[in-house]
């Protein structure tokens, strides 16, 4: 690797959202012609940093220089003009426009009524796709293209606009191994052309296979930048986590009892196939795997949000048919969903209303709401879970993310569930609150509840769970007892194998 | 490190809300109207005038609930016409009165069910669906009744002439309906869940709320209440024609919007719509009794609608982030 | 993937087929439906709807809707008619400038309310539908502009032209259709309207000037309504404050939706809309010939809108909650 | 401020000391809808009458001609305590109840230019522009004279249930039985709903369905203009003669270019003029609202109250043609 003048120079880059600092004084140099990985736990700041470089966010403080010239990247458009392109995991495109149009839209600054040079545009688009070595009919609409192909179009667009710096935010998560190989080939070729690539991933093996240098983020700060060969996996994990796991995660000693939830041959075509497992009382069962492996779909199927087409469910030994979430609730199930804003909170409604949403029968015994009961239950939850707020009548949107999540958990605890499904319960939450959550989860298990914990954070799974189930491409690929669980084992089971498709 | 957003002071919660705006406008409208015409300020006249809009006002109460649940229904005025035409046509062709009333009410329910089916089962946007059904329902009424008016029997005529403590019956029904629906919306779990569905339908579903059932009930209620309103209109007019309640959807939407119902769902109250109904009646009655051009009334209604949404959005953006 | 394109193709050929079948069926029963005279009737029936539908299509593609077209048509026609009446010495060509200009300004006002206050277009235009109609009454003092005041040159445009005697208004509609076709397919801004409707947030990221484009589509819709306004004066010879353009929005939306323009934005073609308008024109012309009372027309339009919605849904299979569409 | 109110007081005094000011009665005329040119002329009759005799006049009308749209306006006039409500009703029966309440308050309710057929007991009097029993025959004679009393004719009417229209159409059918018209056949009656677009397509359909059509009677102002326009646009004024009831202001062009040879109407102005005079005379005790009684109206002579408390402003229709059309300004 040649040491040349840095392409990008970041100095003291800091970003705060609504008073919460998410990125603190980051200095970083990127060289021309390197593939640079950004690593870190969820919320460590790597994506925020990438978005600042790409003009999606503006830094609260700090400076960026490109090719030695200080720049103010005020919007993605400015970034593009400066030769910086961010490629999202699920590319943002115009489904109704053709591939060729998606490639050129936003380029050049001609007049409003200037002609669209269709023939030229199509020819150029074909050339670019050929260059990338992919065969896509550029006259067809984007709608219907695979995600891999959409990424290729995005990369093509970056090249067409002459980008010198291409940022890829977890590009491989939705791809098949074969597609990943193709992508890597192209990325290496881009490096060969002297372009710089920022590669964000949480898959160490990919980073090792592809990248030249890595920068590791933790809690909003940069903790290290080094050539990949100078760091071994353990060192990287240590840097990412920063302190021994045990320090803030401990498995409570709950006595494990009867089978509470039994899933047998659950199948929803296109989402997951033949999933079978059990969760016992007092047991925390982890469900790991990559994003898109079908974990959330399984949870949604169990909870009746989108029921499975075949397979059976047993709750406390009895076969049940759950068609709707309220069937599930009646059977003592609870589900804390992954995306709080979309499927958890009622943003403009009061904290109180949010907390009591799942127990209509208790707050309104004869259909009429008893304010006193409601107030009591809400206040009780706030105290127990230490939810920080000014008033239970506040709209929940005014609370911090962690406290919103606690309120959602409180909602489900009020339903007194025997079986609790938690989907990424600690995503986007401050590290301090995270620890509280781990305690709470442990306590819940001690109380004899069965817990199914879906998480992408391996340390979380390893530290909390009695058993870890792993899914890949809609199938259960491993069941690892706590004693045998290691990051490597989980990852091995999570990465889809090419033959998996054939074996089916 | 964690900051807690302070709660709004109590006076702020109580006063800074769209209903306050509606109330202030109502007072202002009464003052302006009594300046415009010396004949305006007369309780019995205002009550009689309200009678003319009472049917729309009753439907607007249900519409408020539909909008809070995140949907909209523009078809109730056409529904009023079609169910009233069916009812009148049935009784005119010799079907016994109770059966004819049943036919009218069932027709209303069926129309509500059609809207519900297209919106809930087929997942089509309610605004376009109900523009379509609005055209369809009124068109069917026109096919059934042609453009002749169908008389209803004498004993059925004159609901507005029945006075309860000096208050015309339709106004009494409106006030009672407002009270009952207000109680349901604010005090029952069904009402609570309407707000939750309208605020975040996905989250509501995840919380075990049967969102489709709530919307189904609302659309059916809408159809039924529209049919009742259609028959009240028939009783007031003594006859039914296909153009009964023509253009009423605008007045209903206006009542809901002026009362601070948030067009995107999740916010609004029956009290707001209740006040807005009076506001609208005061405004149009004031202008009519002052012999102002109806053109000015159209203009004022259009401006009111736009101003009401802007103001409502502004108030909500200030009070609930 | 050939599917989407294939379906779109099918959509237009589908409407064309429906027109053909309708004409044949009516023609079998009433042979006089298939005569040049009848063609002329249909051709004189559709130009106004055609022109306004082109503007409405752009608005829908950009994920909005314009319910005020009928009132904009009425107000523009009224101002133009009053100018003809009160200032008879002014050349009639100025009428076009006044009508189109008035319409464009009214449309711009719609667009401004939508962009500045972030209001849903459907409610804004429901308000301006009434507001503009009220203004028409006010400016006209609720009086009709009579036939004698409309310049004969303007009236003659609906009757003949030097080109095979085909009335000018048909050429005008054709001109607007061709211009819209060219505009939507071959100009940058035309494509940006589709990009905006297809994915508004991505459009903003790609430098599409969302507000300007929103203003533009509403202004175009207004300007075309204005053009249709003066054509109304030409076609019917008078301008009436309450009738002119009243209820026009339903015809236009029915035509556009049946022409395959998606209410979810981003999708729509000029040929599709043109065929949609023609189909409605054929229906309107066929009804009296068959002796079906005009009272059935409303129900037929309503049914057509609902059927078009169902087709749209089965084509796109997108479960989009209604208000998402309005919020965009 | 003080000065202003003094002036107001002075003008007020000046007005009230004017002749018989305290006896002036308040008349309101409620039209079908605003923007209807027909009522401009009718209103003018009221206005000019009230400039000469002891009445105050106001015109109001709803924005649309929908059945119930006039109700709030009637309620408002009751509240204002006017003496006379003159109205062109939008519905033959939807107004019964509110008419009754007006009459309970001692208000004189007159329908003008159209009656509430079948519900006459709910109004005091009706003022009709002409003798409606003769309209049908007059129109048939008109079209007969235009087509040489031979050939197919058709009627383009307003709405299917418009009472006056149907009454006239009955009259036309009755008249056609006269041997004088034996070579004329009525082939169709169609309805354009008083909308220009619909009237046009109906007219076009008539021409397509009946290629031998010789004459069209359109006893409605919207219909006759639309029919004339179709004939003008097809250039077949020689083959198909259009006539009917139309407004000179709307038909002037067609008469001048020869599309329409002649059409008929009455004088809307006289309806207003007569209504105002009757109301004032009745309140002054100079006239009685009794069948058979008579009273004098300047320019119109002696007027008799006919069966069913109805008054006709003129006995026969006025015919407009190229010779006389410029004499009329409505």
Interchain CB distance below 8 Å, C296 and B143: yes
Neighbours of C187 (CB within 10 A): 18
Q: What is the pLDDT of residues B53-74, one digit of tens each?
A: 999 999 999 999 999 999 999 9
Looking at the predicted structure, is the pLDDT value of residue D17 above 60? no
Give the integer Cα–Cα distance in Å for D210 and D187.
Answer: 8
Q: CB distance from C203 to chain A under 8 Å?
A: yes
Question: Is residue A273 in some structural domain?
Answer: yes
**Residue C133 or residue A496, greater confidence:** C133
Question: Is residue A337 in some structural domain?
Answer: no
What's the pLDDT score for residue C49? 95
Domains of chain D by start residue, with CATH: 22-123+268-314 (3.40.50.2300), 132-265 (3.40.50.2300)
A139 and A219 both lie in a single domain: yes
What's the pLDDT score for residue C315? 57
**Residue D99 or residue A427, greater confidence:** D99
Task: Give all chains having 3 or more CB-to-CB distances under 8 Å with chain A.
Answer: B, C
Give the integer Cα–Cα distance in Å for A42 and D312.
Answer: 90
H-helix or E-strand spanning residue D153? strand D151-157
A225 and A254 both lie in a single domain: no
DSSP label of B121: I
- In 3D space, the residue among D260, D209, D264, D262 whose CA is nearest the CA of residue D236 turns out to be D260
Looking at the predicted structure, is the pLDDT value of residue B96 above 50? yes
Across the B/C interface, how many CB contacts are shorter than 8 Å? Answer: 159
H-helix or E-strand spanning residue C122? helix C121-140
**Coil, helix or strand at residue A160:** helix
- Nearest-CA distance D326 → chain B (Å): 31
Give the integer Cα–Cα distance in Å for A233 and C198.
Answer: 44
Given a contact cutoff of 8 angstroms between Cβ atoms, the answer to whether A256 and A467 are in contact is: no
Q: CB distance from D64 to chain C under 8 Å?
A: yes
- In 3D space, the residue among B130, B123, B4, B10 whose CA is nearest the CA of residue B66 turns out to be B130
H helical segments located in C168-321 = 168-186, 188-198, 200-205, 210-236, 248-258, 270-289, 297-316
What's the pLDDT score for residue C322? 33
Q: What is the pLDDT of residues C141-151, one digit of tens each?
A: 888 898 888 89
**Count helices and strands in chain C by DSSP H and E runs:** 15, 0
What's the pLDDT score for residue D7? 43
What's the pLDDT score for residue A274? 93
Tell me which residues of chain A, numbers 28 to 67, contact chain B at a CB-CB cutoff of 8 Å: none
What's the pLDDT score for residue C325? 34
Out of A325, A395, A400, the one facing B208 most closely (by C-beta) is A325
- Nearest-CA distance C187 → chain A (Å): 5
What's the pLDDT score for residue B304? 85
What's the pLDDT score for residue B3? 54
Q: Which of A398, A416, A434 is the last residue of a domain?
A: A416
- In 3D space, the residue among A263, A253, A247, A380 whose CA is nearest the CA of residue A319 turns out to be A263
**Residue A104 or residue B284, greater confidence:** B284
Interchain CB distance below 8 Å, C299 and B136: yes
B10-15's contacts with Cβ under 8 Å and 24+ in sequence apart are: B12/B319, B13/A393, B13/B319
Q: CB distance from A306 to chain B under 8 Å?
A: no
- C45: CB partners within 8 A, 6+ apart: C281, C284, C285, D197, D201
Looking at the predicted structure, is the pLDDT value of residue A187 above 80? yes
Interchain CB distance below 8 Å, B188 and A305: no
**Which tokens is A251 given?**
């498995």
Looking at the predicted structure, is the pLDDT value of residue A499 above 60? no
- C30: CB partners within 8 A, 6+ apart: C289, C290, D208, D209
Number of domains chain C contains: 1
Interchain CB distance below 8 Å, C142 and B129: no
Looking at the predicted structure, is the pLDDT value of residue A308 above 80? yes
Question: Is residue A315 in some structural domain?
Answer: yes
- Structural domain including C188 reads 3-327
D interface test, pick of C129, C133, C143, C243 with most D CB neighbours within 10 Å:
C243
- Nearest-CA distance D255 → chain B (Å): 32
Give the CA dihedral A102, A106, A111, A116, nearest 10 degrees. -10
Do C and B make contact, counting contact as 3+ CB pairs within 8 angstroms?
Answer: yes
- In 3D space, the residue among B35, B72, B54, B112 whose CA is nearest the CA of residue B256 turns out to be B72
Question: Is residue A89 in some structural domain?
Answer: yes
Out of B126, B127, B135, the one facing C250 most closely (by C-beta) is B135
What's the pLDDT score for residue D160? 80
| Burial class of residue A372 (count of CB atoms within 10 Å of its CB; 0-12, 13-18, 19+) | exposed
Q: CB distance from D239 to chain C under 8 Å?
A: no
Question: Phi and psi dihedrals of A448, rounded to 5?
Answer: 95, 15
A299 and A402 both lie in a single domain: no
Question: Is residue A260 in some structural domain?
Answer: yes
Q: CB distance from B300 to chain C under 8 Å?
A: yes
Do D and A make contact, counting contact as 3+ CB pairs within 8 angstroms?
Answer: no
Q: Between vectors from CA A313 to CA A308 and to CA A317, what angle results, nearest 5°?
A: 175
What's the pLDDT score for residue D22? 52
Question: Is residue A1 in some structural domain?
Answer: no
What's the pLDDT score for residue D4? 46
- Structural domain including A41 reads 6-242
The length of chain A, given as a count of residues: 504
Identify all chain B residues contacting C253, using CB atoms and an 8 Å cutoff: 131
Q: Between vectors from CA C305 to CA C304 and to CA C306, what angle results, nearest 5°?
A: 90
Q: What is the pLDDT of residues B196-225, one digit of tens each?
A: 999 999 999 999 999 999 999 999 999 999
Give the integer Cα–Cα distance in Å for A166 and A91.
Answer: 14
D interface test, pick of C234, C294, C298 with most D CB neighbours within 10 Å:
C294
Specify the pTM: 0.84
A143 and A229 both lie in a single domain: yes
β A165-169/A84-87 pair status: parallel
User: What's C132's domain CATH number?
Assistant: 1.10.3470
Number of domains chain A contains: 3
Give the integer Cα–Cα distance in Å for C235 and C230.
Answer: 9
- D310: CB partners within 8 A, 6+ apart: D115, D125, D126, D127, D128
Q: CB distance from B288 to chain D under 8 Å?
A: yes
Interchain CB distance below 8 Å, B7 and A357: no
What is the average pLDDT value for chain B, to the nearest integer?
90
**If you search the block for the tokens 């075949």, which residue do you land on?**
A310
Question: Phi and psi dihedrals of B54, rounded to 5?
Answer: -60, -40
Q: What is the pLDDT of residues A254-275, one digit of tens each?
A: 788 889 999 999 999 888 999 9
Residues of D with CB under 8 A from a CB of B: 28, 34, 58, 60-64, 66-68, 71-73, 75-76, 79-81, 91-94, 96-97, 159-161, 193
Give the integer Cα–Cα distance in Å for D330 and D326.
Answer: 10
Interchain CB distance below 8 Å, A94 and C189: no
Across the C/D interface, how many CB contacts are shorter than 8 Å? Answer: 92
Q: CB distance from B154 to chain D under 8 Å?
A: no
pLDDT above 70 covers what percent of chain D?
A: 93
A426 and A378 both lie in a single domain: no
Out of B146, B244, B291, the one facing D60 most closely (by C-beta) is B291
Task: Give all chains having 3 or more CB-to-CB distances under 8 Å with chain B.
Answer: A, C, D
What's the helix, strand, coil split of chain C in %, to 5? 75, 0, 25
β D108-112/D125-130 pair status: parallel
What's the pLDDT score for residue A76? 82
Question: Is residue A480 in some structural domain?
Answer: yes
A151 and A217 both lie in a single domain: yes
Looking at the predicted structure, is the pLDDT value of residue A249 above 60? no
A394 and A466 both lie in a single domain: no
Interchain CB distance below 8 Å, A112 and C187: yes
Give the integer Cα–Cα distance in Å for C25 and C33.
Answer: 10
Across the A/B interface, how many CB contacts are shorter than 8 Å? Answer: 105
- Cα within 13 Å of Cα(D7), Cβ side: 4
Identify all chain A residues contacting C210, using CB atoms and an 8 Å cutoff: none
A431-435's contacts with Cβ under 8 Å and 24+ in sequence apart are: A431/A219, A432/B1, A433/A402, A433/A403, A433/A405, A433/A406, A434/A248, A434/A402, A435/A248, A435/A249
Given a contact cutoff of 8 angstroms between Cβ atoms, the answer to whether A156 and C19 are in contact is: no
- Nearest-CA distance D159 → chain B (Å): 7
DSSP letter for each residue of B40-72 = S--HHHHHHHHHHHHHHHHHHHHHHHHHHTT--
DSSP label of A98: B
Given a contact cutoff of 8 angstroms between Cβ atoms, the answer to whether C77 and C99 are in contact is: yes
Q: What is the pLDDT of residues C70-124, one digit of tens each?
A: 999 999 999 999 999 999 999 999 999 999 999 999 999 999 999 998 888 988 8
Out of D195, D207, D253, the one facing C148 most closely (by C-beta) is D253
Q: CB distance from B203 to chain A under 8 Å?
A: yes
Interchain CB distance below 8 Å, B237 and D68: yes
- Nearest-CA distance B155 → chain C (Å): 31
D interface test, pick of C147, C167, C232 with most D CB neighbours within 10 Å:
C147
Interchain CB distance below 8 Å, D34 and C284: no
Give the pLDDT mean for C182-199: 91
Given a contact cutoff of 8 angstroms between Cβ atoms, the answer to whether B187 and A369 are in contact is: yes
Given a contact cutoff of 8 angstroms between Cβ atoms, the answer to whether D226 and C288 are in contact is: no
Adjacent-strand bridge partners of C168:
none
Using left for φ > 0, alpha for ψ between -120 and 50, and beta otherwise, residue A358 falls in alpha
Question: Is residue A116 in some structural domain?
Answer: yes
Looking at the predicted structure, is the pLDDT value of residue B16 above 80? no
A14 and A80 both lie in a single domain: yes
Out of A360, A363, A394, the one facing B7 most closely (by C-beta) is A394
Give the best-scoring range by mean pLDDT among A48-62, A478-492, B110-124, D62-76. B110-124
Distance of CA C1 to CAs A136, A143, A153, A270, D141, Å?
9, 9, 15, 19, 71
A231 and A363 both lie in a single domain: no
């Amino acid at each position: 690797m040649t040491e040349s003048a840095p392409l990008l120079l970041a100095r003291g880059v800091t970003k705060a959202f609504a008073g919460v600092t998410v990125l603190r004084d980051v200095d970083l140099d990127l060289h021309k012609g390197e593939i640079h990985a950004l690593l870190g736990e969820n919320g460590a700041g790597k994506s925020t940093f990438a978005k600042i470089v790409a003009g999606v966010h503006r830094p609260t403080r700090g400076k960026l220089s490109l090719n030695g010239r200080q720049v103010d990247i005020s919007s993605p458009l400015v970034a593009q003009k400066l030769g910086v392109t961010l490629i999202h995991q699920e590319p943002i495109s115009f489904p109704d426009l053709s591939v060729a149009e998606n490639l050129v839209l936003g380029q050049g600054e001609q007049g409003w009524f200037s002609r669209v040079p269709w023939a030229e545009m199509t020819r150029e688009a074909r050339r670019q796709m050929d260059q990338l070595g992919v065969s896509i009919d550029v006259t067809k609409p984007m709608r219907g293209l695979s995600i891999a192909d959409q990424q290729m179009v995005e990369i093509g667009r970056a090249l067409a606009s002459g980008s010198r710096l291409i940022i890829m935010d977890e590009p491989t998560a939705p791809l098949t191994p074969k597609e990943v190989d193709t992508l890597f080939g192209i990325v290496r070729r881009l490096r060969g052309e002297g372009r710089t690539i920022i590669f964000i991933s949480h898959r160490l093996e990919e980073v090792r296979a592809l990248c030249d240098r890595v920068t590791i983020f933790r809690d909003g700060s940069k903790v290290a930048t080094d050539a990949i060969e100078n760091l071994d996996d353990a060192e990287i994990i240590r840097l990412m986590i920063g302190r021994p796991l045990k320090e803030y995660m401990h498995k409570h000693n709950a006595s494990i009892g009867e089978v509470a939830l039994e899933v047998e041959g659950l199948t929803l075509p296109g989402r997951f196939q033949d999933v079978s497992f059990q969760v016992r009382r007092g047991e925390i069962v982890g469900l790991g795997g990559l994003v898109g492996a079908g974990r959330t779909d399984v949870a949604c199927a169990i909870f009746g949000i989108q029921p499975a087409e075949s397979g059976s469910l047993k709750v406390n030994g009895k076969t049940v048919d759950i068609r709707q979430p309220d069937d599930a609730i009646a059977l003592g199930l609870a589900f804390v969903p992954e995306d709080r804003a979309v499927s958890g909170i009622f943003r403009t409604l009061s904290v109180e209303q949010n907390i009591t949403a799942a127990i209509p029968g208790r707050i309104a015994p004869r259909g009429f709401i008893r304010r006193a009961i409601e107030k009591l239950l809400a206040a009780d939850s706030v105290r127990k879970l230490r939810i920080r707020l000014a008033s239970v009548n506040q709209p929940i949107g005014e609370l911090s993310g962690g406290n919103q999540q606690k309120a959602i958990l409180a909602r489900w605890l009020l339903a007194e569930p025997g079986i609790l499904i938690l989907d990424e319960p600690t995503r986007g939450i401050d590290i301090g609150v995270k620890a509280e959550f781990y305690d709470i989860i442990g306590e819940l298990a001690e109380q004899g509840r069965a817990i199914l914990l879906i998480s992408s954070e391996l340390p979380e799974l390893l530290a909390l769970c009695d058993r870890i189930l792993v899914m890949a491409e809609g199938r259960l690929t491993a069941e690892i007892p706590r004693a045998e669980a290691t990051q490597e084992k989980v990852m091995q089971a999570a990465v889809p194998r090419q033959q998996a498709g054939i074996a089916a | 490190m964690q900051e807690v957003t302070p709660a709004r002071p109590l006076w702020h919660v109580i006063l800074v809300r769209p209903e306050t705006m509606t109330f202030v406008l109502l007072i202002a409208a009464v003052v302006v109207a009594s300046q415009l015409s010396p004949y305006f300020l007369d309780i019995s006249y205002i009550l009689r005038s309200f009678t003319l809009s009472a049917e729309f006002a009753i439907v607007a109460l249900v519409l408020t609930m539909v909008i809070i649940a995140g949907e909209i229904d523009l078809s109730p005025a056409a529904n009023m016409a079609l169910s009233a035409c069916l009812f009148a046509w049935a009784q005119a062709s010799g079907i016994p009165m109770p059966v004819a009333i049943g036919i009218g009410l069932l027709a209303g329910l069926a129309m509500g069910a059609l809207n519900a089916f297209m919106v809930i089962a087929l997942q089509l946007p309610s605004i376009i669906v109900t523009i379509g059904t609005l055209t369809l329902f009124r068109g069917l009424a026109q096919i059934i009744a042609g453009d002749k008016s169908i008389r209803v029997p004498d004993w059925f005529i004159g609901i507005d002439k029945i006075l309860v403590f000096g208050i015309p019956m339709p106004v009494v029904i409106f006030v009672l309906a407002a009270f009952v629906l207000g109680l349901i919306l604010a005090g029952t779990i069904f009402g609570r869940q309407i707000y939750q569905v309208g605020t975040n339908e996905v989250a509501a579903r995840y919380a075990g709320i049967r969102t489709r059932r709530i919307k189904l009930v609302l659309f059916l209620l809408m159809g039924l209440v529209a049919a009742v309103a259609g028959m009240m209109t028939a009783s007031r007019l003594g006859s039914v024609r296909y153009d009964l309640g023509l253009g009423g959807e605008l007045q209903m939407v206006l009542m809901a919007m002026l009362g601070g119902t948030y067009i995107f769902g999740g916010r609004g109250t029956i009290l707001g719509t209740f006040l807005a109904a009076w506001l609208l009646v005061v405004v149009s009655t004031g202008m009519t009794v002052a012999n102002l051009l109806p053109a000015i009334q159209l203009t004022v209604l259009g401006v009111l609608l736009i101003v009401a949404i802007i103001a409502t959005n502004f108030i909500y953006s200030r009070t609930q982030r | 993937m050939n599917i989407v394109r294939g379906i779109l193709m099918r959509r237009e050929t589908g409407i064309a087929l429906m027109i053909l079948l309708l004409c044949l069926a009516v023609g079998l029963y009433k042979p006089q439906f298939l005569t040049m005279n009848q063609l002329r009737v249909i051709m004189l029936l559709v130009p106004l709807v055609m022109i306004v539908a082109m503007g409405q299509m752009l608005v829908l593609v950009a994920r909005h809707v314009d319910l005020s077209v009928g009132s904009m048509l009425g107000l523009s026609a009224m101002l133009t008619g009053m100018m003809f009446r009160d200032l008879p010495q002014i050349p009639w060509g100025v009428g076009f400038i006044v009508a189109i200009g008035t319409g464009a300004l009214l449309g711009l006002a719609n667009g401004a309310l939508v962009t500045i206050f972030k209001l849903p277009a459907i409610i804004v235009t429901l308000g301006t539908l009434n507001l503009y109609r009220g203004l028409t009454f006010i400016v006209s003092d609720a009086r009709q502009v009579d036939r004698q005041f409309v310049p004969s040159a303007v009236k003659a445009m609906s009757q003949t032209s030097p080109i095979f005697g085909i009335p000018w208004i048909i050429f005008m509609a054709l001109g607007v259709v061709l211009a819209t076709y060219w505009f939507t397919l071959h100009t940058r801004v035309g494509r940006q309207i589709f990009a905006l409707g297809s994915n508004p947030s991505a459009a903003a990221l790609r430098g599409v000037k969302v507000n300007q484009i929103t203003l533009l589509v509403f202004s175009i819709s207004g300007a075309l309504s204005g053009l249709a306004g003066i054509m109304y004066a030409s076609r019917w010879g008078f301008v009436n404050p309450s009738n002119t353009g009243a209820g026009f929005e339903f015809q236009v939306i029915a035509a556009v939706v049946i022409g395959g323009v998606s209410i979810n934005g981003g999708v729509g073609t000029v040929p599709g809309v043109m065929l949609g308008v023609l189909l409605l024109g054929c229906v309107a012309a066929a009804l009296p010939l068959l002796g079906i009372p005009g009272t059935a027309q409303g129900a037929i339009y309503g049914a057509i809108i609902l059927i078009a919605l169902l087709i749209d849904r089965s084509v796109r299979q997108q479960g989009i909650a209604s208000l998402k569409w309005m919020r965009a | 401020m003080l000065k202003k109110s003094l002036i107001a007081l002075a003008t007020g005094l000046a007005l009230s000391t004017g002749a018989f000011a305290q006896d002036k009665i308040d008349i309101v005329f409620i039209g079908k809808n605003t923007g209807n040119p027909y009522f401009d002329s009718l209103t003018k009759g009221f206005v000019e009458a009230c400039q000469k005799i002891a009445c105050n006049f106001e015109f109001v009308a709803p924005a649309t001609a929908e059945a119930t749209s006039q109700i709030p306006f009637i309620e408002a006039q009751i509240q204002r305590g006017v003496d006379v409500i003159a109205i062109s009703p939008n519905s033959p029966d939807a107004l019964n109840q509110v008419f009754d309440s007006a009459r309970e308050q001692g208000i004189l309710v007159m329908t003008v230019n159209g009656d509430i057929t079948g519900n006459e007991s709910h109004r005091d009097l009706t003022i009709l522009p002409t003798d409606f029993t003769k309209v049908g025959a007059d129109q048939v004679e008109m079209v007969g004279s235009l087509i040489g009393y031979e050939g197919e004719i058709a009627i383009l009417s307003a709405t299917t249930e418009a009472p006056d229209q149907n009454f006239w159409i009955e009259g036309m059918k009755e008249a056609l039985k006269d041997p004088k018209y034996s070579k004329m056949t009525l082939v169709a009656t169609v309805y354009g709903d008083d909308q220009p677009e619909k009237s046009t397509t109906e007219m076009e359909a008539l021409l397509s369905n009946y290629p031998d059509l010789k004459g069209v009677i359109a006893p409605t102002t919207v219909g006759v203009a639309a029919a004339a326009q179709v004939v003008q646009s097809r250039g077949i004024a020689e083959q198909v003669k259009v006539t009917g009831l139309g407004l000179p202001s709307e038909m002037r062009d067609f008469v001048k270019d020869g599309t329409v040879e002649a059409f008929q109407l009455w004088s809307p102005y006289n309806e207003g003029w007569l209504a105002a005079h009757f109301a004032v005379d009745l309140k002054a005790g100079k006239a009685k609202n009794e069948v058979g009684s008579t009273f004098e109206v300047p320019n119109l002579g002696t007027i008799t109250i006919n069966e069913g408390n109805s008054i006709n402003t003129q006995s026969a229709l006025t015919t407009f043609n190229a010779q006389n059309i410029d004499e009329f300004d409505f």
